[in-house]
Structure 1
Amino acid sequence: MARDELGDLRAFLAVAEARSFTKAAARLGVSSSALSHTIRSLEERLGLRLLARTTRSVATTEAGERLFNTIAPHFEQIHAELDALSELRDKPSGTVRISSGEHAAETLLRPTLASFLPEYPDINVEVSIDNGLVDIVGEHFDAGVRLGESISKDMIAVRIGPDWRFLVVGIPDYFTGRPSLEHPSDLTRHQCINLRLTSAGGLYAWEFEKDGRETIVRVGGQLTYDSILSVLHAALDGHGLAFVPEDLAQPYIAQGRLQVALSDWCPPIQGYHLYYPNRRLASPAFTRFVEALRYRG
């Protein structure tokens, strides 16, 4: 196969993955018009339409989807093999793409990156924040961060943090004159601050457990955010009750700015894990990142 044909296939993969000529062109470092010409030439040589173009989006045709599924794994293997050659250098290089929720990114990734990036100046790390469940293979991430209990069995999982728990919190003044909270179902009579899961689109249901009894409550209230930090700040502003990770709320609890409710219904949950598909060969950059995050507590 001629070198220009390989380049045309690489261009096709970029457009199919980005579903946009503009985004793909930026990734490849070429103009949109040049990229469009490349794709048209490839389609003419094959005698098949590979991409369906509209004014708003680009999607693969049946032939394009078949070609993508056939050649994409081979290109990924080529990239992995080329990345592996960086082991011949003093330090690894390349880009590691991670999907993570906001809490894990703030409490685990951020502290690790503080020392990791200076140690490996040739490694770039891209973190995408999404509090919902993400298809890391379909979205072309190297790995994702998720609670251990929710990871698919066909994924490799590496623990990166300790067990922790959610707490129901509000400012002391909020509880004055309001119904007491003895059972999670009592939350339906309170103003609660919801968290919307970005990718799934739904609201996070508050989950509780005590003496083996599990209870899920869908709360109501005037405020909804897609950021757990914003939910915490709204509680501090007195807008209602929040269901947030204990480590985020603890400084404010210690200061007396937040009060805890239903603590006995909030047991620890399995900590965060880095998860990724089984690979025959992982890049040195990715291997270093996994080891930097690995929990050793």
Structure 2
Amino acid sequence: MGRYLSVVVIAGVAIVLGGYLMMMKSEETAKLNVATERQAARRAFADRARSSAEEDDSGTYLRAIQTALRSYDEELTKRVYAKHPKWRDPAAYLNEIDALLKNESIKEEQHTSMREGYETVRAAYDIMMAANWRPVLTAKGKGGTRLDIYSLKRVEDDQGHPILEGQFFFWGIEDSTQVSWGSLSMRFWKKAAKTVRQGGRRTEVEEDIVLGKAEGDAQPRVIIQSPHKYVADFPSYVSIGTIWLPVMPHEAVAVDIEYGYTARIGGGSYDSVLAFEKLPIPDAWKLKPGESWDADVIEATEEEIRGVEPGEGEGEADGAERP
């Protein structure tokens, strides 16, 4: 009797174990299917994102990219995760590294660094997937690239100095893209009074003149070219990060910005210089009264001060007051 009982017990254990293994295999297969479907959705989004980034008009670009993002989000919900909605978890990476720390598989310093990367990506992911941001500055480059700075605010650097920190989406810059960063040039404009003759009488008018210039490296402060490693559902064809700009002079009313980079994509090399001309400067971007401007200042030429190209307008302009 004891022998038959042993056979029954062993058979029962085998059936339970077999069922568990089948369940595990089924779940593993389902996860592979989700990963495959997600990759297909990301490829489809990349095609729409590339087309959106190449739009000349900023408004058309924004409508197109945000429509593409809503479609991508719908694709994730209705197709990729339709059978397993709980698997769509933007915090999965965070939970994973927390478990690794708890099991002492990683050190505290590693966990801190990994968590910072996740938090940077997660914040950008939430803004992107809401699909309602408004660019502060955006311009298309070559090779299907586009810079979109969606936030620009005053912060302090590590030494407590004021700085402007821009949060950006960089379309067309992916993990496989090699980027060489060029120069960042800024030219600041102010208003100045000028005496002219109008109708035979002297009168004062305001004109724009160059206050000063600043130059630096276009290298972002932070750039993450593989955000999907932190949030698996992060859209493709985009990098995220931050760029630092100098806080602008208190007297300045407008700024010209040139931002250069070279992207190597698919065997081709694309040089871009993004140009923003005479952008109005909000007070929030300026130094406060009494604060000093620590940017590297380059002396402007006489032509630049007058706001003309070298050699342009060498004679006196009509109506200008002669000394």
- Using the size of structure 1 for normalisation, the TM-score is 0.27
Query: Greater strand percent: which structure?
Result: 2
- Using the size of structure 2 for normalisation, the TM-score is 0.26
